[in-house]
Amino acid sequence: MFILFLTGTLISIYTLLCFIRIILTWFPSMTYHKFTRFIAGICDPYLSLFKRIRFLQIGMVDFSPVAAIGVLVAVSSLLNNMAHHQRITLGGLLASLLSIVWAVAGSLLGFLIILMVIRLIALLFSKSNPSGIWYQLDMVLNPVIYKITGLFRNKRFISQKAALIMALLILLLLQLAGNTVTSVLIQILLRLPL
């Protein structure tokens, strides 16, 4: 069980390195720094696995780092939980798998919710036409917003603000329901005698 704990801890350290690498990509002047190249050599092979997944890239926004970090956090948590409980069961493995899937999906939902809240605040307090970053954010969010609201609006036109509020509420409910259902299912799976 010590090996599980050690592996979980090493994965947590690797997660931190990947997070640092993601932040460093925001600073182009750091690209050729020795430390950045060292971190890139360690983290880029793993992070590039997620860049190949097309649905993680919406418009100009790349959600692959969020998914990559989510998987690492979930696997680390799984290993640490198995080390803590000192037994491995089928129910525990299924619960951990469900936890990993929801960690990634919940992270993506949470990120979309944050982007939508930021855009809603900008819409509520800005009287000018969208430009610059708001235009880029709209290019990312609008396809998602109108796909979500299209399920409920019966082909009627609604304003961007109304669609944004509707999509935000739906995603918040989905996040809450996902958290609740996942928690209940994990508790059921952990009680399985196998």
Q: What is the pLDDT of residues 85-139, one digit of tens each?
A: 666 778 877 887 888 788 778 877 888 898 899 888 888 887 666 667 777 778 8
Give me the chain's average pLDDT, please: 84
Residue type, 94: L
Residue 49, pLDDT score: 92
Nearest to 42 by CA among 72, 67, 63: 72
Radius of gyration of the chain (CA): 20
Phi, psi of 62 (to 5 degrees): -105, 110
Q: Tell me the per-residue pLDDT of 3-53, one tens digit each, with 9 for 90 and over.
A: 878 888 899 899 999 989 988 888 878 888 898 899 999 999 999 999 888
Q: Tell me the per-residue pLDDT of 10-23, one tens digit each, with 9 for 90 and over.
A: 998 999 999 899 88
Residue 37 Cα to chain centre, angstroms: 25
Residue 160 Cα to chain centre, angstroms: 24
Structure tokens at 112: 């979309």
pLDDT-derived band of residue 178, with 50, 70 and 90 as boundaries? very high
How many C-beta atoms lie closer than 10 Å to residue 45's C-beta?
9
